[in-house]
Amino acid sequence: MLSQLVNRCRPLPSGSRLLILGQGYSGKTVSQLFQSLGTPVLGTRRQANQGANDLCFDSDAGIAPSLSEIADVTHMLSCIPPTKDGHDPVLNQLQPLLRQLPLRWVGYLSTTGVYGDTGGQWVCESDTANPSQERSRRRLDCEQAWLQSGLPVQILRLPGIYGPRRSVITALQQGRARLMNKAGQVFCRVHVEDIAGASLHLMHCANAGQRPQIVNVCDDHPAPSSDLLRFAASLLRCPLPAEESFEDSHEGMSAMARSFWSENRRVSNRLLRQHLGYDLLHPDFHSGLQDCWQQDVSQVETFSDSQSAID
Ligand SMILES: NC(=O)c1ccc[n+]([C@@H]2O[C@H](COP(=O)([O-])OP(=O)(O)OC[C@H]3O[C@@H](n4cnc5c(N)ncnc54)[C@H](OP(=O)(O)O)[C@@H]3O)[C@@H](O)[C@H]2O)c1
């Protein structure tokens, strides 16, 4: 729950101002945390909603914020993925503008997909990236471009992002969940509120002189997707979908799904947790899915119960 995070977080020093490029699922949660802590936030979308803090940035349409709109930004987080041809939309269009800002910290949300397949072994930031998918090779190129940009950049490598309205709970409710098992296969994940909490923590660390170039932001507990599905079904008290054998289902999978199942790795968060001292809000999927259930389901039920009482 974001309120839990807000209660234990220290705001940025006064005078700080955050720009979030790509205020989608993760960007919005980061924005909510910082605003709750009193830090002014500007955010971009491709179609801005015209709110006071809402700016328009669309690299395809060539629409970008002006210098006067973002002139006093001190911290920036890019949540925008690479273009199909492998370029970073932000660096492509905004780099000269960004160089004119008084930036103290620039975060780039990347993916742990750059590590490729480790056959289920643990992997950490000092290991050589070994992407096996074309999209992960493009991502690694973008990471390099950010690191060479001359800005005070930190790369946050993320595994699968989940949270309210985007988890196996949602998939079960919508009838999209599939119960599949492949021997030895695990997936790593991070709750979206931990992306927000870790971003703030990393800004504080950078302010105190600690800014490793690359940090994995993931929970403690890589696990098979079937474990999550079973736990989610127990929270929802609903039946599990019929179990499918991985071998039988593989043929009918989308190319994207097949690529996910083709890589098996355990991503270490030791740098984030032990060296930099970030305390995860959701160290494993039990805590994280319980939170999704509370935010997605039990609050809706409580609301409709109280509505019925009023009606
Ligand atoms: N989803 C995952 O499980 C996962 C895992 C690892 C890493 N990541 C990466 O982490 C980052 C954040 O993920 P997310 O799931 O929070 O992303 P998201 O909800 O899809 O948000 C992406 C944002 O980028 C903006 N955007 C996309 N293309 C753009 C362009 N050409 N010009 C300007 N803005 C553009 C979108 O604008 P609109 O708001 O207008 O759509 C949106 O605000 C992404 O880079 C993603 O690839 C995601």
In the predicted model, is pLDDT for residue 301 greater than 80? no
Is the C-beta atom of 58 inside 6 A of ligand 1?
yes
Distance in Å, CA 247 to ligand 1 centroid: 32
pLDDT score for 299: 65
Three-state SS for the chain is: CHHHHHHHCCCCCCCCCEEEECCCHHHHHHHHHHHHCCCCEEEEECCCCCCCCEEECECCCCECCCHHHHCCCCEEEECCCCCCCCCCHHHHHHHHHHCCCCCCEEEEEEEHHHHCCCCCCEECCCCCCCCCCHHHHHHHHHHHHHHCCCCCEEEEEECEEEECCECHHHHHHCCCCCEEECCCCCECEEEHHHHHHHHHHHHHHHHCCCCCCEEECCCCCCECHHHHHHHHHHHHCCCCCCEEEHHHHHCCCCHHHHHHHCCCCEECCHHHHHHCCCCCCCCCHHHHHHHHHHHHHHHHHHHHHHHHHHC
Average pLDDT, the chain: 94
Average pLDDT on 33-48 reads 95
Is the C-beta atom of 16 inside 6 A of ligand 1?
no
Q: What is the pTM of this model?
A: 0.95
Identify which of 20, 21, 25, 259 to mutate to test ligand 1's pocket (most ligand atoms within 8 A of the CB): 25
Is the C-beta atom of 154 inside 6 A of ligand 1?
no
Is the C-beta atom of 204 inside 6 A of ligand 1?
no
Residue ranges of domains in the chain: 2-299
Percent of the chain with pLDDT over 90: 86
Cα distance between residue 162 and residue 189, in whole Å = 7
Identify which of 97, 111, 259 to mutate to test ligand 1's pocket (most ligand atoms within 8 A of the CB): 111
Considering the four listed CATH numbers 3.30.420.280, 3.40.50.720, 1.10.3720.10, 3.40.50.1820, the one that applies to the domain covering 2-299 is 3.40.50.720
Note the pLDDT tens digit of each residue in 150-195. Answer: 999 999 999 999 999 999 999 999 999 999 989 999 999 999 999 9
Identify which of 20, 42, 46, 191 to mutate to test ligand 1's pocket (most ligand atoms within 8 A of the CB): 46
Distance in Å, CA 107 to ligand 1 centroid: 14
